[in-house]
Structure 1
Amino acid sequence: MRSELQTYRTGDSDMVLDLTDDCASFVSREGDGLLHVFVPHATAGIAILETGAGSDDDLLAALRDLLPADDRWRHQHGTPGHGR
């Protein structure tokens, strides 16, 4: 098993960050196996989807509809909507 740590800084707004090239580079040095991607933070997530053609915006819109960034959340520190 081989592990590699990658660090990404995404800023203060919701966004889709495409990790495809980094993942492809990692597995290109390996034979058969599994790729495990882990995000050790509560306000980040991993989605597997076809990017482009509006799917990035569709995902962000769905998350905004499902989890609005307002003050309804009990977990409230930092910016408004942080607990979502």
Structure 2
Amino acid sequence: MRTFTVTTRKKDQIIDITDTIENYLQEAEKAEGLCSIFVAHTTCALTTADLDPGTDQDLLDALRNLLPQLSYRHPHNPAHAPDHLLSSIIGPSLVVPYARKQLVLGTWQRIIVVELDGPRQRTLHMSTF
């Protein structure tokens, strides 16, 4: 397993980690298989996205508008509850196939960390099988 960190700089931010993952795939034992990526936090998530200019902010704006204004019961900090909920909706992990030690992604598809409570240092774990 490979562990690495990503540093975020804003409260809400999209970080493209596709190139980092592909660089680590060069060290994979097998030329093809599955790549599992997991972010070990409850206020950020992983997904894929098209990162044409502005689409990162479109995604963040859409996510923030998904949740209703509720009286959240999070004991630590109720204002922090939407960060946890959005992270759970998106999810903490991805499994992506790879071939010839390169991710098998669509033309515009990128692997992204969705930061929902930054700025922070985020720990990710990657395995191939």
Partner residue, 1:45: 45
**Which runs of 5 or more residues in structure 2 are unaligned?**
83-129
Once residues 15 and 79 of structure 2 are traced to their aligned partners in structure 1, the CA distance between those partners, rounded to angstroms, is 21
Partner residue, 1:74: 73
Shift of 1:7: 1.2
Question: Aligned match of 1:10 in 8, 11, 14?
Answer: 8
Conserved 8 A contact 1:39-1:46: yes
Regions of 4+ moved over 4 Å: none
Q: Cα deviations across residues 16-44 of structure 1 (Å, max 9, x unaligned)?
A: 01101101101123311111110111101
Partner residue, 2:107: none
| 3-state SS of paired residue (1:17) | strand
- How does the TM-score come out when normalised to structure 1? 0.78
Question: Which structure has greater strand proportion?
Answer: 2
Between 1:8-17 and 1:35-44, the stretch displaced more is: 8-17
RMSD after superposition: 2.1
**Which runs of 5 or more residues in structure 1 are unaligned?**
none
- How does the TM-score come out when normalised to structure 2? 0.54
Q: Which has the higher contact order (CA 8 A, sep 6+)?
A: 2
Partner residue, 2:58: 58
Corresponding residue pairs, total = 80
Conserved 8 A contact 1:15-1:60: yes
Sequence identity percentage = 35
Gap change, CA 1:39 and 1:73, over 3 Å in 2: same
